[in-house]
Structure 1
Amino acid sequence: MTASIRDFRSGDRSDAESVVRVRRAALPFTITTPKGVAFELACAHPAKRHRILVAEGPDGRVIGTAQVGIAHDSTEPGQSYVNAYVDPAHRGLGAGRLLLRAAEEHLAAHGAVDVYAWVLDEPAHRAFAERHGYRPSRSAHFLRLDLTAAALPELPRDEDLPAGVELLPGSAFAADPRPLFEADAETTSDEPGDVAASFDDYEHWLAQTWHSPSLDKELTTVALVDGRVASFAAAQTDGATRYGSAMTGTLRAFRGRGLAKLAKTVSLHRARAAGYTEAFTGNDAGNGPMLAINEWFGYEICATETRFTKKLTKPKGRENL
């Protein structure tokens, strides 16, 4: 017997918990929670055509899941994504193949031309992707830091900060987060990637990023220079033991001053004080400066994944899924 595919049941707590269980089993280096899964679907831009697919085994247990949608903010039409996860304990039932087929049909029906997928850099995963017509492109690393044992740099004292530099939690921007949006937009545009995207929708950023239940505004740390946002370390948490770097960036005019290190130092110290025991982050394999900063903190690479891509053809005689 094989798996069967259906949509995630929005509002079903047990479904959200099942998706989290599968994601953590397949990719234990990310921050994911039931509330975050529900939010991911609820806040998705309509043009994204975002779906969360679920694969059930013969006994009805959720054994796989996939995130799929259109890169609606891409500067090039027809770009899309699918990230599929199968519980390692339940491979061999066809869940990955069926998830991928349903995802590709959905994307092609909505005009997708190119689909991108992150794949763990392991022989079985790479072989699966290549068997289904995907070809590798860039790679990225997952990194882990044991917060219980890490020798973090000393917390900077106010009197030791460079002239004009101030460190604030993200929550200090609750009344007006637009400066953080602008900083996020500039730094993200400089990130290596396969799909170029426009980053100019403030209202969508508020809905998807600022109001995300995973964003910890107290642990998020912002470095200001003469009152202007210059650098930031955005933090995600699972509310239990895991802390994740959502984005660390410095605006172009302020690079080379060590501001990202300052912001991240404060954020990591706050995370440890709050009881978080593991810190995770991810870096493009070609992003040498950020990899160097994370290695300086003591992060170690724990896994690598590769971005695979495939050209899609529009299905004939099929209704939109």
Structure 2
Amino acid sequence: MKDTVTKTDLVFRGAGAGDAAFAADVDTAVRPRSPRDPEVYEYWWAQPDENWVIARFVVSRAGRRVGYAVAQHPRWDVQPERYGTVEGNLLPAERTKATLDVVYASMEERVIADGAKILSAWTNEDDPVRIETLRGRGYKEDRHSRRWELDLVANRERLLAMTEESRSRMKKEGIRMLTLATDDDPNVIEKIWKLSEEAGGDVPTTEPRVPEEMASYTRWVNAPEIHRDRFWIARIGDDVVGVSVLGYPPVRGLVGTEWTATARTMRGRGVARALKCETLAQAIALGVDRVRTGNDAANDPILHINETMGYRLIPGGIQYLRAV
């Protein structure tokens, strides 16, 4: 992928040091109720990915940074269906259908030149400018992602009671609940990764899932928003049978679910609920007032858990697709 291109008065250059934090500022300015963490962005923009080709750009206008853009796709030997993802954002003063159209056009050129056959783009349900832009470029709505917010203050007593009930059930079934920080198994990360790969394959999706290498998973475990003493796992004997993690942005942003998964053999036994309860009880003890989570709209089991815990729906996401 080329590093620099000019479209009308928008200039695209390859992103460098410090640009990820600027991208977090852009996203925060566009959606101030969902602030994004600059330290988290800097960490992830600096990481490689074994199975993805990723090109990130800073968008400038008249010599001033006004936004960012990303063109990415899996390695084609990993995903022969050839989906390419395009994304980007602009500061509110520069953000119009016309300017977003230029951003998408530029990123589309890159993934198509790399061989993409289907284009993918995500937007929030309450972002009419982006939705109008994508529809104008021929994208069609494909999937919905539900997003939820849980008031930990209003639901405190119910959640703590639910946690005690889950602990009692897990104890009776011989399932241990502990944090990654207290687990002394030298192979625990590999076991959690294998469990997550199994569970990831069961998440409803149109776009074929790209496998995650253990090295990539380990980078996530070591990310600044992840704390090993807040990383909950479930065990039966030597086996890891469940995991649930809340991410805690170090600079700004809302605490939210990073990942919850259980082994196929354990589903229906309350393990996911018990793990989520532990993460929420811990968040309450840490003084967190609310948390967020997100799930595919077709993932009925986890949607049911969210509803019974007291989560309320907030604007979710929409995936748009377009054949090349």
What is the TM-score with the length of structure 2 in the denominator? 0.84
In 2 relative to 1, CA 262–245 (structure 1 residues): closer, same or farther, beyond 3 Å?
same
Of 158, 164, 178, which residue of structure 2 is paired with 1:156? 164
2:147 alignment counterpart: 142
2:4 alignment counterpart: none
Name the aligned partner's letter for residue 219 of structure 1: R
3-state DSSP of counterpart to 2:173: coil
3-state DSSP of counterpart to 2:208: coil
1:22 alignment counterpart: 26
Matched-pair contact (CA < 8 Å) for 1:241–1:278: no
In 2 relative to 1, CA 74–87 (structure 1 residues): closer, same or farther, beyond 3 Å?
farther
1:196 alignment counterpart: 208
Matched-pair contact (CA < 8 Å) for 2:36–2:253: no
In 2 relative to 1, CA 5–275 (structure 1 residues): closer, same or farther, beyond 3 Å?
farther
Of 223, 227, 241, which residue of structure 2 is paired with 1:230? 241
Q: Identity across aligned pairs (percent)?
A: 22
RMSD over equivalenced CA pairs, Å: 2.6
Which string of whole-angstrom CA distances, capped at 9 and with x for unpartnered residues, describes residues 72-128 of structure 1? 385334222122233344323843122212211221222211121112224433221
In 2 relative to 1, CA 101–139 (structure 1 residues): closer, same or farther, beyond 3 Å?
same
Distance 2:221 2:191 in 1: 12
- 1:69 pairs with 2:77: no
- 1:8 pairs with 2:15: yes
1:319 alignment counterpart: none
Matched-pair contact (CA < 8 Å) for 2:232–2:244: yes
Which piece of structure 1 moves more, 298-307 or 53-62?
53-62
Of 253, 256, 260, which residue of structure 2 is paired with 1:248? 260
1:130 alignment counterpart: 135
In 2 relative to 1, CA 46–232 (structure 1 residues): closer, same or farther, beyond 3 Å?
closer
3-state DSSP of counterpart to 2:229: coil
- 1:33 pairs with 2:37: yes
Of 191, 207, 222, which residue of structure 2 is paired with 1:179? 191
Of 175, 191, 205, which residue of structure 1 is paired with 2:217? 205
1:119 alignment counterpart: 123
In 2 relative to 1, CA 290–47 (structure 1 residues): closer, same or farther, beyond 3 Å?
closer
3-state DSSP of counterpart to 2:259: strand
Unmatched 5+ stretches in structure 1: 313-321
1:318 alignment counterpart: none
Which piece of structure 1 moves more, 17-26 or 176-185?
17-26
Distance 1:241 1:45 in 2: 25
In 2 relative to 1, CA 30–83 (structure 1 residues): closer, same or farther, beyond 3 Å?
farther
In 2 relative to 1, CA 93–121 (structure 1 residues): closer, same or farther, beyond 3 Å?
closer
3-state DSSP of counterpart to 1:82: strand
Distance 1:131 1:216 in 2: 42
Matched-pair contact (CA < 8 Å) for 2:147–2:315: yes
Matched-pair contact (CA < 8 Å) for 1:223–1:259: yes
Of 83, 87, 90, which residue of structure 2 is paired with 1:83? 87
Which string of whole-angstrom CA distances, capped at 9 and with x for unpartnered residues, describes residues 272-295 of structure 1? 322333311111111121111112
Distance 1:30 1:225 in 2: 37
Unmatched 5+ stretches in structure 2: 1-7
Name the aligned partner's letter for residue 69 of structure 2: A
Name the aligned partner's letter for residue 248 of structure 2: T
Distance 1:124 1:198 in 2: 30
1:283 alignment counterpart: 295
2:103 alignment counterpart: 99
In 2 relative to 1, CA 164–251 (structure 1 residues): closer, same or farther, beyond 3 Å?
same
Distance 1:31 1:219 in 2: 21
What is the TM-score with the length of structure 1 in the denominator? 0.85
